[in-house]
């Protein structure tokens, strides 16, 4: 179970930086639409798996979709909201994560109980295709606005139909020839069995070979174009890396972000199993009885953290930093109590408080990163942050907690999570000593 969760995180981490760079170089709108569409397709495909490796592959590819969405989305928000509004805007954006996380456990559990787990994958995956179309309509302030929706869909259809007909004519033609020949051969009773099938297969194989031969020149042209983009992207990557290394605030945010990501996503990954094993509750019951409190705490925490971070910034350059770290320092003991308590009547207030405090950082932390980097590399640096924080954070958390759980029990293993979160909050607070100078450097 631990590695199943990490497959998604590892792929997300590796794909976040290159897709963030492409968003900076090309179109953030297109990268977001691609990410949402791929996420939806791979989620729905989870309903068709029959082996563990198939499920692991589907969940891993969901990470590519998330990587396309996250960096480009936050960079796009940063272009619309400047200065005092940015952390609150990203806080509103982050409420979607709290909403989706709680509703996913709730709705997924209910669907699994009534219709089976395969139905849960389909129901939560398919609506994303509509969201991908809507994402393709997003306006980018510094780029040409999108064409009307009908024109966009018509363009997709026309380009796809022309390319399919252009390269698929040999395959279609030879498949038809094979069908006719096999039908004629089927009229002769004395022919050996399977001759008509072999003729049809030979015609289809010839069509496939012909199609591949026709596709080679097109692939070479695309490779040349991709190499040119890759060369530019590599330069963009080096610029983003240099920005991180020469900006002390980013170093502290990256290190602290890895620790708090370890804590938050490790808690989310193992919460359903914890409730089942420790309190004897099914996932559906957890969602129905406690989901609303987790959702309320997460949504209010994301909005509160963003609003307070923006308000403090008007009085102090470290306002967003202190909100990002304080939530985990204050929330560590409360999260530990949540894991240790046996009485369910105390579980609700502790659950609400944990979600509330642990979501303060969503808006302010990203806003701090965006505040101390030039606009041209914002998506690239956010991608670099996701790469580091996930690989060094929640890619490790699920399998590590699983390993410790196998040896010491799930409750003692999960107590590692609030401890890591509190340390991460303290590391983030070190950035109070550097954020003022780094923000000033960007302004000049």
Residue 158 has pLDDT above 70, yes or no: no
Q: Which two tokens stand for residue 104?
A: 């996913």
Q: Which two tokens stand for residue 45?
A: 């495909």
Dump pLDDT digits (tens) for 385-396.
877 887 788 778
- The predicted pLDDT at position 220 comes to 46
Burial 200-220 (b: 16+ CB within 10 A, else e): beebbebbeebbeeeeeeeee
Alpha helices (runs of H) in 314-434, residue ranges in sequence order: 319-340, 344-358, 362-371, 378-389, 397-408, 410-414, 416-430
- The predicted pLDDT at position 260 comes to 92
The answer to pTM > 0.85 is no
- The predicted pLDDT at position 154 comes to 63
pLDDT confidence bin for 370, thresholds 50/70/90: confident
- The predicted pLDDT at position 329 comes to 95
Q: Which two tokens stand for residue 223?
A: 């490779």
Contact of 167 with 213, CB cutoff 8 Å: no
Dump pLDDT digits (tens) for 394-440.
778 888 888 899 889 889 999 999 999 999 999 999 999 888 888 88
- The predicted pLDDT at position 161 comes to 63
pLDDT averaged over every residue in the chain: 79
Dump pLDDT digits (tens) for 51-90.
888 888 888 888 888 887 877 887 788 778 776 677 788 7
pLDDT confidence bin for 371, thresholds 50/70/90: confident
Contact of 390 with 329, CB cutoff 8 Å: no
- The predicted pLDDT at position 426 comes to 96
- 375 against 371, higher pLDDT: 371
Alpha-carbon distance 299 to 317, whole Å?
25
Residue 33 has pLDDT above 80, yes or no: yes
The share of the chain scoring above pLDDT 70, in percent, equals 76
- The predicted pLDDT at position 240 comes to 56
Residue 266 CB-density burial (10 A; 0-12 exposed, 13-18 middle, 19+ buried): buried
Provide the residue ranges of all domains of the chain, joining segments of one domain with +.
2-147+237-443, 151-235
Q: What is the mean pLDDT of residues 118-133?
A: 90
pLDDT confidence bin for 193, thresholds 50/70/90: low
Enter the CATH code of domain 2-147+237-443: 1.20.1250.20
Q: What is the mean pLDDT of residues 23-39?
A: 83
Phi, psi of 191, rounded to the nearest 5 degrees: -70, 150
- The predicted pLDDT at position 289 comes to 65
Dump pLDDT digits (tens) for 223-267.
444 444 444 444 555 555 566 667 888 889 989 999 998 998 888
Least confident of 18-22, 292-296, 340-344: 18-22
Q: Which two tokens stand for residue 66?
A: 């998330």
Among residues 8, 28, 1, the alpha carbon closest in space to that of 395 is found at: 8
Q: What is the mean pLDDT of residues 132-148?
A: 73
- 121 against 139, higher pLDDT: 121
């Amino acid at each position: 179970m631990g590695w199943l969760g990490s497959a998604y995180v590892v792929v997300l981490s590796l794909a976040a930086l290159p897709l963030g760079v492409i968003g900076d170089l090309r179109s953030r709108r297109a990268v977001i639409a691609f990410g949402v569409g791929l996420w939806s397709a791979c989620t729905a495909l989870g309903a068709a798996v029959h082996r563990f490796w198939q499920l692991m592959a589907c969940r891993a590819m969901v990470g590519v979709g998330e990587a396309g969405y996250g960096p480009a989305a936050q960079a796009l928000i940063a272009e619309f909201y400047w200065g005092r509004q940015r952390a609150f805007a990203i806080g509103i954006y982050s409420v979607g994560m709290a909403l989706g996380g709680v509703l996913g456990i709730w709705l997924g559990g209910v669907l699994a109980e009534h219709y089976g787990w395969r139905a849960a994958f389909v129901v939560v995956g398919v609506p994303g295709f509509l969201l991908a179309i809507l994402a393709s309509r997003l306006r980018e302030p510094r780029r040409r606005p999108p064409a009307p929706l009908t024109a966009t869909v018509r363009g997709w259809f026309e380009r796809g139909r022309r390319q399919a007909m252009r390269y698929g004519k040999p395959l279609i033609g030879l498949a038809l020839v094979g069908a006719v020949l096999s039908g004629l051969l089927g009229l002769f009773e004395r022919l050996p069995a399977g001759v008509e099938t072999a003729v049809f297969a030979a015609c289809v194989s010839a069509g496939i070979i012909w199609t591949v031969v026709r596709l080679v020149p097109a692939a070479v042209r695309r490779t040349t174009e991709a190499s040119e983009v890759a060369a530019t992207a590599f330069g963009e990557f080096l610029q983003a890396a240099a920005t991180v290394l020469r900006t002390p605030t980013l170093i502290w945010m990256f290190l602290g972000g890895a620790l708090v990501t370890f804590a938050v996503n490790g808690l989310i990954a193992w919460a359903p199993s914890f409730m089942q094993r420790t309190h004897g509750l099914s996932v559906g019951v957890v969602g129905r009885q406690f989901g609303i409190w987790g959702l309320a705490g997460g949504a209010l925490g994301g909005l509160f953290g963003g609003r307070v971070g923006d308000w403090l910034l008007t009085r102090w350059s470290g306002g967003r930093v202190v909100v990002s770290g304080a939530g985990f320092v204050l929330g560590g003991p409360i999260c530990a109590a949540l894991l240790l308590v046996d009485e369910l009547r105390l579980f609700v207030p502790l659950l609400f408080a944990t979600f509330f405090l642990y979501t303060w950082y969503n808006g302010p932390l990203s806003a701090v990163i965006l505040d101390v980097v030039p606009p041209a590399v914002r998506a690239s640096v956010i991608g670099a942050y996701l790469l580091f924080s996930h690989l060094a954070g929640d890619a490790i958390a699920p399998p590590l907690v699983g390993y410790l759980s196998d040896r010491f029990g799930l409750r003692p293993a999960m107590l590692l999570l609030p401890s890591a979160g509190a340390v991460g909050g303290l590391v983030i607070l070190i950035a109070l000593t550097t954020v003022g100078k780094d923000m000033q450097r960007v302004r000049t």
